[in-house]
Amino acid sequence: MIEEKLRLEDLLKSAPVVDDSELVNEIAIIGAGIMGQGIAQTISAAGLDVLIIEKNDKMLKKAKSMLSESIDREIKRWAMTNSDKKTIFSRIKWETNFDNISDRDLIIEAVYEDLDLKVDIFSQLDKKAKKDCIFVSNTSTLSLTKIAETTSRPEKVIGLHFLNPVPKIPVVEVVKCLHTSAETTVKVKSFISQIGKTPVEVYEYPGFVTTRAIVPLLNEAMYILMEGIATVKDIDTAIKLGYNFQMGPLELADSMGLDEVLAWMETLWKTLGEARYRACPILRKLVRERKLGKKSGEGFYKYDEHGNMID
């Protein structure tokens, strides 16, 4: 008993002590799309207030409606309650400008995968945010180092790659660019733990870990479909049951957004030049036709207005 007590005391002494002053308390999110909504919901559900910013009232109203409907679907499945929804919304503020970001500890950019757009946003934030505010990009393929170098605080720029659906996926890639300081990395990893996720530290490289690994699977499934080897449903069933996946690759692509998947493939193809990242013609055709998956109502499958698959 004495030896066990001593071992327990040693473990408690060696456990890291979290300094409350180092915790992230004031967060803003730029972009109220599917990813921005999911990140805001996750942060709010963890008990933190969050400011979410979109470029106009119309898009902001649409985002509120989409988040409300998403939570309502979870309530119908008994995964959440009306009280949970009320609490989550009470912690989210919605705005259309950067006027109230000067007190933020951490700002997460979650807009479309466009380098020029992200650079423009970070340049604006750099002028308005406090000096010790950490800038985060949710990019999955673009160069964080290039983004960081457009700011006056490159050591405080870091990537957080959340996966969709954000509230349900327990892992977040914490991506260090060339300039990211150790202090910034430690603080951001602590924040990820604070909101109930597991941080995985990775170095900047096109696609990081999760995107780089999943894109070839999605692409190959599309080529299998194009070559007429199996139907959409049978391809997904084979992979889902054969490898214990929650969903098949084509349904997964629909959930991610086919335009996003195409953007990832084009970036990886351009930067790495490897054939496994060359987008299947079927994907290009669907995106051209604006069949983008769940968010547009049709992709490899058809969906109702609530995002439920139509048989």
Residue 160 near residue 192 (C-beta atoms within 8 A) = yes
Domains of the chain with bracketed CATH: 20-203 (3.40.50.720), 211-305 (1.10.1040.10)
> Contact, 83 vs 124, CB < 8 A?
no
- pLDDT tens digits, residue range 189-198? 999 999 999 9
For the residues 6-27, what does the mean pLDDT come to?
A: 54
pLDDT, tens digit (0-9, with 9 covering 90-100), for 35-61: 999 999 999 999 999 999 999 999 999
101 has pLDDT over 90: yes
118-139 tens-digit pLDDT: 999 999 999 999 999 999 998 8
Predicted confidence at residue 19, as pLDDT, reads 54
Instruction: State yes or no: pLDDT of 17 exceeds 70.
Output: no
- Give the pLDDT band (50/70/90) at residue 94: very high
Structure confidence at residue 18 (pLDDT): 45
Instruction: Describe the strand order of the beta sheet including 50-53 as a list of residue ranges.
Output: 92-95, 50-53, 27-30, 106-109, 134-137, 157-162, 171-176, 198-203
What does the chain come to in residues? 311
CB 303 within 8 A of CB 248: no
pLDDT at 8 over 70: no
